[in-house]
Amino acid sequence: MNGVLKGMLSEWFSSGFLNLERVTWHSPCEVLQRVSESEAVHPIKNWMDMKRRVGPYRRCYFFSHCSTPEEPLVVLHVALTGDISSNIQAIVKECPPSETEEKNKIAAAIFYSISLTQQGLQGVELGTFLIKRVVKELQVEFPHLGTFSSLSPIPGFTKWLLGLLNSQAKEHGRNELFTDSESKEISEVTGGPINETLKVILSSNEWAKSETLVRVLQAPLMRLCAWYLYGEKHRGYALNPVANFHLQNGAVMWRINWMADVSLKGITGSCGLMVNYRYFLEETATNSTNYLNSKNIKASEQVLSLVAQFQKNSKL
């Protein structure tokens, strides 16, 4: 029954029946309200926040079904920037540089949020279709635009890391995640056994307010995050659902960013880390095929270097 329903929904919501619509501040109030309420990645706080996200240097698109125009099914938020963004606060909090866009300052399109408004459509490839259509739309508007990337959250990383610390603490305080020098430095800062104290510290967002903790945790957490994204698998594919989505689309695991989301959600969910998945348009079809058929993850030198450091310093 589940398979039959999914098949029928995939047919009913195939790309031929979908309309691409852009949201602006002049869109109907009902549309703005629905887009605001459906934002699941970086919650929209008020109408001024909403106005910024559909204003200059920002784009917001959604798919609607031909039978229900102006009813968003999946929403994509895009920032138009000078380079590949490494920090989400710079996108969702800062005011745009001016009220009028200067096209020569726009060199990159950053997909920073994609949200389904209808949870019953999970598993239907709406997000994949939407990104492809939006890329074409942006290329028409900005013919010189050549850089496309996401700035993505890493849901589940903190939970995975706490699970590792917990299992190691049970095995007689064994430490196989950190180098000797890292263990010594972290213990000096926290004042206790590394696994136990880190479990407590990383369970809240207070640690991100300490410059010392942020400094000593950067190298090991970057390394562990790279392994979580690249090395942890579910049936041979990336365990992290956001990674799996972009890799299926043919993106490259491009760059892991430290302290990229310092919101409460960002710190507690992924220790403040975010990742760029970069879309090289001429390579996406090949990358997607290699991932889906051979489970090969295309990653940058930065990510592979961090993975190699994890494999060298950890004994999992």
| Domain edges within the chain | 1-152, 157-250+258-277+288-313
The percentage of the chain sitting over the pLDDT mark of 70, rounded to a whole number, equals 90
* Band (18; pLDDT cuts 50, 70, 90): confident
246 CA to centre of own chain: 9
Of the ranges 2-6, 187-191, 264-268, which one carries the lowest mean pLDDT score? Answer: 2-6
For residue 62, pLDDT over 80 is answered with yes
Q: Which CATH code for domain 157-250+258-277+288-313? A: 3.40.630.150
pLDDT of residue 127: 77
- Quick check: do 1-152 and 157-250+258-277+288-313 share a fold? yes
pLDDT of residue 263: 93
Count CB neighbours of 234 within 10 A.
10
Instruction: Please state whether the predicted TM-score (pTM) of the whole model is above 0.75.
Output: yes
pLDDT of residue 10: 61
* Band (120; pLDDT cuts 50, 70, 90): low
pLDDT tens, residue by residue, 65-106: 767 777 888 999 999 999 999 999 999 986 666 678 888 899
- For range 178-203, the mean pLDDT: 89
pLDDT of residue 171: 66
pLDDT of residue 29: 94
* Band (43; pLDDT cuts 50, 70, 90): very high
pLDDT of residue 172: 55
Report the distance separating Cα 255 and Cα 74, nearest Å: 26
CB 62 within 8 A of CB 23: yes
pLDDT of residue 128: 86
Catalytic positions are: 152, 246
pLDDT of residue 257: 98
The percentage of the chain sitting over the pLDDT mark of 90, rounded to a whole number, equals 69
Beta strand 108-116 with 147-150 is parallel
pLDDT tens, residue by residue, 132-186: 999 999 999 999 999 999 999 999 999 999 999 888 766 655 567 888 899 899 9
Q: Cα-atom radius of gyration of the chain, to the nearest Å?
A: 21
- For range 293-298, the mean pLDDT: 96
Cα angle 212, 217, 222 (rounded to 5 degrees) comes to 145
Higher pLDDT, 260 or 195: 260
- What angle do the packed helices 126-141 and 241-248 form, to 10 degrees? 60
- For range 19-30, the mean pLDDT: 94
Report the distance separating Cα 138 and Cα 78, nearest Å: 10
Mean pLDDT of the chain: 89
Q: Which CATH code for domain 1-152? A: 3.40.630.150
For residue 293, pLDDT over 60 is answered with yes
Question: Secondary structure of 67-125 in the HEC alphabet?
Answer: CECCCCCEEEEEEEECCCCCCCHHHHCCCCCCCCCCHHHCCEEEEEEEEECCHHHCCCC
